[in-house]
Amino acid sequence: MELTEKVLILKTGKFKENDLWVRFLSATRGVQNAFAFGGSRSRKRFGGCLEPFSQVLFKTGTNKTGTYQVLQEGSLIKGYPEIRSDLRKMGLAANCLKFIESAVIEREGSRRIFDLLTETLDVIEESAPDDFFPLFFRAKVAFEEGYNPDFTICSKCGKPLFSSRPVIFDVEKGLVSCSDCDKGRGGELVSAGTVRTLAWIQDTGPSNWTSLKLPTEIRQECFSIMDRFMAYHMGLVWEGHSYKKI
C-alpha cells in the first residue's frame, strides 16, 4: 500500500553502497523506519531531503512481502539551514531529535508530537534559545504523552498550590500535594518556583519558552525532577551521548 505523508527526518545511515536506512517521525504513525534504495545518489527521487533536521513529504510503500517499508520518493519542505550551520543550535536540535527517536510515541499522539517538534525546530532555527530548551521540550513531550501531573492544585485536598510555600512531588505516582497533606509519605520537596515553571510549560509551547529566565536553583531542580520523572514513567535516561531505555 502506498502512502504519502509529511515527516521529520530523525536519523539516516548507510545500508549498502548506494542505499540508506531512514528513521523519521510521521505526523500520523509516530516513529518509523524505512529503506531508501539508491538514496545516496538519486537526486531525482530524494534530492536534498534525506538529512536529519529535514521536514519532508514522503511517498512510501512496502517490499513484495510487506516486511519493511520502502521510500519511493521525497520532496523537501523545510531544511533548517541555520541549525545545520550553527554547532550550538545543532546540539540543541539533536538533543530533541534523539529524545523522540528513543521515546515510544503513541500513534494517537503522533500529530501533537510532530507539531511540537516542528515548532521546536522552528524556534531553534529562528532564535537563540537557552541551553535548557531541550529540557522544556522533553517535559512537554512527557505531558503530551499523558504523563501530566496537575501542578496547580493539591492532589489530596484540592487547594491551590501557587504560593511561596514548597510542595511535595511524588515522582512515581505523578502527584503533587501541599506539605500539609503529604505528612512524610515519601514525596520530594519542590520549590513553588519549580512547580509554577512546570505548570507554565504544560500550558504553553516552544515559541513562549525563549522568554523564560530562570534562577539557577530552579533550573537545576526542574532538571532533576523531570529527569527522574521521565526515567520512571517513560523509561529514558541520558547516557553518554544518547538516550537509553531502562
Residues of the chain with CATH 2.40.50.140: 3-79
Go through the chain and tell me how many residues it has.
246
In order along its 246 residues, the chain shows pLDDT tens digits of 688 999 999 999 888 778 899 999 999 999 999 998 877 776 667 877 888 999 999 999 888 888 889 998 889 999 999 999 999 999 999 999 999 998 877 777 799 999 999 999 999 999 989 888 999 999 999 999 889 999 999 998 998 887 778 889 998 888 999 888 876 666 788 998 999 999 999 999 999 998 888 899 999 999 999 988 988 888 888 777 778 887
Alpha helices (H) along 145-215: 179-182, 192-203, 206-209
Residues of the chain with CATH 1.20.1440: 87-148+188-245
Q: Which CATH architecture has domain 87-148+188-245?
A: Up-down Bundle (1.20)
d(CA 156, CA 76): 50
Name the CATH superfamily housing domain 3-79: Nucleic acid-binding proteins (2.40.50.140)
What residues contact residue 241 under an 8 Å CB cut-off, 6+ apart? none
d(CA 181, CA 110): 37
- Which pLDDT score is estimated for 105? 77
- Which pLDDT score is estimated for 63? 85
d(CA 130, CA 132): 5
